Structure 1
Amino acid sequence: MIVVAGEALVDLVPTSEGNLAPRLGGGPFNVAVAVGRLGVPVSFLSRVSRDLFGDRVVERLTASGAATDLVTRGPEPTTLAVVGLADDGSARYTFYVEGTADRLVADPGPLPSDVRAVSFGTLSMVLEPGASAYEAVLRRESARGALTALDPNIRASLIPDADAYRARFRSWLPDVGLLKVSVEDARWLADLPEDAPEDDVLAAARQWQSEGPAVVVLTRGGDGLAVLTGSGEVIHVPPVAVQVVDTIGAGDTVQGALLAWLHDHDALSAEAVRGLDGASWIRALSYAGAAAAITCSRAGAEPPFKRELEMT
């Protein structure tokens, strides 16, 4: 069993008519949906509103094969994110998070003994008091031996003190088994210029790896994926050619597909991830890249089902 911990929200996405259409989203929610649609046992850990959007969140999880036994419900509203799309399909976000349900999640205590991996990231690791609750789960599950996966998925507009967040991020690394980060977010986390070369990003990734993670996976947008393996090798996998509608949920799909691949290949532990050879990582990243390409080919965060990947 994989647990994905974090927020679910509603993206208000521009349409061709100039309106805003609601689409279910949130990084962790998208990861849980991706894992479930790929046929792997997964449960979502979060607090979800009892409003109509919250009902739709639970329905989408169930329809995607994700369990909701770790979901609590509350009267608070659902977080909203207004999405702006650039010409290349990339997204920027404006968030409405005050007093919303997901940030009021409580520490559930030890997770069931059959949980082999737990994934964290995005707003849930920023907004208090929920961030401290998720941090407690991260540290406890790491100590128990579960594979802990982190995708910071930076939303800088919601981080009032960048240096404090960067320090907190570094404090998590000893308890992280798999770190997945975009090149853009890596530059922000390492306090590098926006145009810093990828060699500088890799240097930062090597430093982070030395502080805990077994591997560091980099998403590189139109340049594909890369991984800094347990042996220190850097492996690149090219992107899958696709007509991009938008990139909403692409990185989340990579995270979910990686976890699903690791599950299917009996590699859900830090030791197993650290021991994967180059050929295995090429297969893993190719699988994740193919899944993300399908997500990019349609509007909003719509990760593929396993049967769709099998057809590619």
Structure 2
Amino acid sequence: MIVVAGEALIDLVPDRPAAAGPAVDPALPALLPQRGGGPYNTAVALGRLGSPTAFCSRISTDGFGESLMAGLRDDGVDTALVQRGAEPTTLAVASIAPDGSAGYGFYVEGTADRLFELPEALPDSVTAVSFGTCSLVLEPGASAYEALLRREAARGVFTALDPNIRTGLIPDADAYRARFLGWLPHIGLLKLSLEDAAWLAGPGDPAAAVREWLAAGPAAVVLTHGGNGISVITRGGADCSVPGVRVDVVDTIGAGDTVNAALLHRLAAHQALTAEAVAKLDEAAWRDVLGFAARAAAVTCSRAGAQPPYAAEL
């Protein structure tokens, strides 16, 4: 079973211009609530692909929280590791650029997900744990997720990290970069967008930084290049890329999260959910894994909001 640890929230996504009226700005877009959060999307995507998956988080008992729980159950995600709280659900207001790329503003004060506490030992059936996004920034929950990462890595569980940088939530960039470096010895698979890599590298060269991060611990570093595809470098010497799959992009919400899920799902198919197995995968196997992830992400980009594909769609 793959466990995904991190936040669940509600994305408020622009739909279409609001109807004109005496008190309504006709240029103001309507905002539709959609289930989201990087880890939540990853868990849903894994469930839709058919991987046995559990979600480890803290979710509100409000109406949005109940909807988030229902979404997990609908796609076969185990919710036994979900903590509940009466605090409100985090909200993310999305803005969609003409090219479909998304930006976010967050409402996170006093919300349920950031009060996550370190759970008891995960079940022995767990083969991998995935981390990322806001959950590793917002305290006090961030420290609990970090403790979970270190604990599970220490007992030999394969770990994956997608930092999925949201700069508006990071008050001290240098402190976060230092913390990120501290996670690397405990990570089996590091996945980044080019934008994330450039931000984390700071004034340094992102390409050189990626090599340094690989040497610090991960068995492989996967880079997403937007519509231009996905690449990987590994400690075993593999260095390859696949092109993106061309689609009419509606928006990119959830695309990177879909890549996370597809990578873990396909690595499991190659019996490669260990750092040693990942490092030993050859380029042919990686092209299969990356190609699968690119196809899955393309489907997500072809429809509004974070709607990852089901296995039959691939």
Q: Same fold, TM exceeding 0.5?
A: yes
Q: CA deviation at 1:204?
A: 1.1
2:134 is aligned, of 113, 119, 123, to 123
Tell me how far apart the structure 1 counterparts of residues 110 and 67 of structure 2 sit (CA, whole Å).
Answer: 20
Quote the sequence identity (%): 63
- Maintained 8 Å contact 1:47/1:71: yes
Q: Which amino acid aligns with 2:216?
A: E
Q: CA deviation at 1:58?
A: 0.7
1:276 is aligned, of 264, 276, 281, to 281
TM-score, normalised with respect to structure 2: 0.95
1:25 is aligned, of 8, 17, 36, to 36
Q: CA deviation at 1:232?
A: 3.1
Q: CA deviation at 1:112?
A: 0.8
- Maintained 8 Å contact 1:31/1:255: yes
Name the residue aligned to 2:84: 73
Tell me how far apart the structure 1 counterparts of residues 165 and 58 of structure 2 sit (CA, whole Å).
Answer: 21
Count of matched residue positions in the alignment of Structure 1 and Structure 2:
303
Name the residue aligned to 1:197: none
Q: CA deviation at 1:168?
A: 0.2
| 2:96 pairs with 1:82 | no
Name the residue aligned to 2:16: 16
Q: CA deviation at 1:231?
A: 2.3
Tell me how far apart the structure 2 counterparts of residues 117 and 62 of structure 1 sit (CA, whole Å).
Answer: 20
Tell me how far apart the structure 1 counterparts of residues 203 and 265 of structure 2 sit (CA, whole Å).
Answer: 32
Structure 1 gap ranges (5+): 194-199
Q: Look at both structures and tell me which one has the larger radius of gyration over its CA atoms.
A: 2
Partner-residue secondary structure (3-state), 1:299: coil
Name the residue aligned to 1:265: 270
Q: CA deviation at 1:202?
A: 2.4
Partner-residue secondary structure (3-state), 1:67: coil
Name the residue aligned to 2:20: none
What CA RMSD, in Å, does the superposition of the two structures yield over aligned residues? 0.9
Name the residue aligned to 1:5: 5
Q: CA deviation at 1:283?
A: 0.2
TM-score, normalised with respect to structure 1: 0.96
Tell me how far apart the structure 1 counterparts of residues 80 and 214 of structure 2 sit (CA, whole Å).
Answer: 33
Which consecutive aligned stretches of 4+ in structure 1 deviate over 3 angstroms post-superposition?
Answer: none
Correspondence 1:214-233 to 2 at 5 A: 214-233=219-238
Q: CA deviation at 1:72?
A: 1.1
Tell me how far apart the structure 1 counterparts of residues 178 and 200 of structure 2 sit (CA, whole Å).
Answer: 9
Q: Which amino acid aligns with 1:27?
A: G
- Maintained 8 Å contact 2:214/2:234: no
2:103 is aligned, of 83, 92, 101, to 92
Q: Which amino acid aligns with 2:276?
A: E
Q: CA deviation at 1:13?
A: 0.4
Q: Which amino acid aligns with 2:140?
A: P
